[in-house]
Structure 1
Amino acid sequence: MAPKKGVKKQTSKPDIPTGPRPSEILDIPESEQRRLIQQSELFKNAASLTAPELDRGPEADSAKAATLGDEIFNLFLLIIPFGSLLLMMDILIHQQYTQTPTFKGEVSRMTEMLPIFAILIFYTPPDRYKHLAFYQAFLFLISLSAGGRLIWVVNKSNYLRVMRQTPALATVWVYAVWELNLAAAVASLVLVGGWVWYTGLKMVF
């Protein structure tokens, strides 16, 4: 028999397994999502990359600790002019007493005095402690002591002690005044000058 017209033949479709919808997959509580992210390696890597940037502040960016090589280089930059001043003062004080300085004698005296002065410069760098009040007070006392002692030795001691002590005292005095702030340096010089005037000592000899 011929099939009847107008009647559609029903075909059976294979059963396709259906899983959860995308909205159901992503439907995870927020607390659970946070816990999963924290436990993942991705979170650890991101934290390790961003932690230095979070810890970095304006002071950490601007202030960098000087290495030992930089400090030694700065030491040489200062020891050259002040060592030259020390040598010049030693030569001048010998000329003052008509003593002819010899090369061997100058080398011997510089070998004795320069290491001590280098240690002083190395442990008192101007860019590290100059802004501190206690350091300025320390330099102020050094300036008063060195200046007063220098003038006292020149006026009251014999020529042997003058030749032995005045080069180092003069160099330390100049270094202390150079390290001081302007107001403190002027104040120390005024006090030394006032003490010299009060005691009747002479500034020159």
Structure 2
Amino acid sequence: MARQRKSKEPKSAADIKLKQPDRSGPSDKTLLDLAQGKDLFSQAEERRRELAKERGEVIEERRAEDDEEERNVLSPGADRFMEAMLYTISLSMLHLTFDILVQKQYGKEMDYRDVAIRTARAWVVFLILFWPLHPHEANPTLLPGFPRKYQQPLRQTIFGIMSAVSGCYLIHISNNYDYLAVMKQAPPVGCLWLWAVIELELVNAVLSLIVAGGYLWYYDYKVY
């Protein structure tokens, strides 16, 4: 005959003893500890990268980095504008330096207001010349209708002529003109000469300097 268990009446809340939970943690190593101890996660990540590389897949992390780099890259137009500002402002500062030096050379009293005005005017001229002449991916065509493969040689020809003419003219005015003409013309001509040499390839730059040196030697001029 089956026994019938006596059902225990539930204890009241007052009869239940309160007890703090066990916060000591597991006494033995867990699976996570074992995996970290054997560096299984790093091995799994390396294996995943190898398999992705074999299949020609792009890893998501690398793709995310590339996307971030693409977002940070300026557009060609903005990059061209920033490059133009960098070059022309640098040339303007060089013009300012030349202007001050040439006035100091002739012992003229410095008028910084006039110097600042001349520097600002020079910057405008440099920007007008730099914008179409300087090669950039946003400005590959200098002369529309001209074959693209001849655009760079055309630029080199222009800068070569600019370098040779500017160098020879600077030597000429330094030896033949009075100090007022030298103070007025030497700073911008010197900046154009330097800029043209920078834009030229090495061989063309050397050739343009040889032309200026030959002009100096032929007319027996002196360098001041």
What TM-score, normalized to structure 2? 0.59
Matched with 2:88 is: 79
The letter for the 2-side match of 1:154 is S
Q: Distance in 2 between matches of 1:105 and 1:141?
A: 31
- Cα shift at 1:102: 2.1
Separation (CA, whole Å) in 2 of partners of 1:188 and 1:111: 28
Q: State the Cα distance separating 1:65 from its structure 2 match.
A: 7.7
Give the 3-state SS of the residue equivalent to 2:107 in structure 1: coil
Does the alignment pair 1:101 with 2:110?
Answer: yes
The residue aligned with 1:23 is none
Percent identity, please.
30
Partner of 2:126: 117
Residue 142 (structure 1) shift: 0.5
Residue-by-residue CA offset, 1:14-53 (whole Å, 9 max, x unaligned): xxxxxxxxxxxxxxxxxxxxxxxxxxxxxxxxxxxxxxxx
| Residue matched to 1:172 | 192
- Pick from 127, 142, 156 the counterpart of residue 162 of structure 2: 142
Picking from 67, 76, 82, the partner of 1:66 is: 76
Mapping for residues 12-51 of structure 1, pairs under 5 Å: none
Q: TM-score, normalised by structure 1?
A: 0.64
Deviations 1:84-103 (A, max 9, x none): 11110000010011013222
Q: Which runs of 5 or more residues in structure 2 are unaligned?
A: 1-73, 143-150
Distance of 2:166 and 2:201 partners within structure 1: 17
Aligned positions of 1:124-203 closer than 5 A = 124-128=133-137, 132-203=152-223
1:84 maps to amino acid = M
Distance in 1 (CA, whole Å) between partners of 2:124 and 2:136 is 21
CA deviation map 1:49-101 (0-9, x unaligned): xxxxxxxxxxxxxxx9822x222211111122211111100000100110132
Corresponding residue SS for 2:221: coil
- Mark the runs of 5 or more structure 1 residues left unpaired by the alignment: 1-63
**Which amino acid in 1 is paired with 2:167?**
G
CA distance in 1, matches of 2:205, 2:136: 17
| 1:102-137, Cα deviation, whole Å (9 max, x unpaired) | 221111211222101111111222435697111111
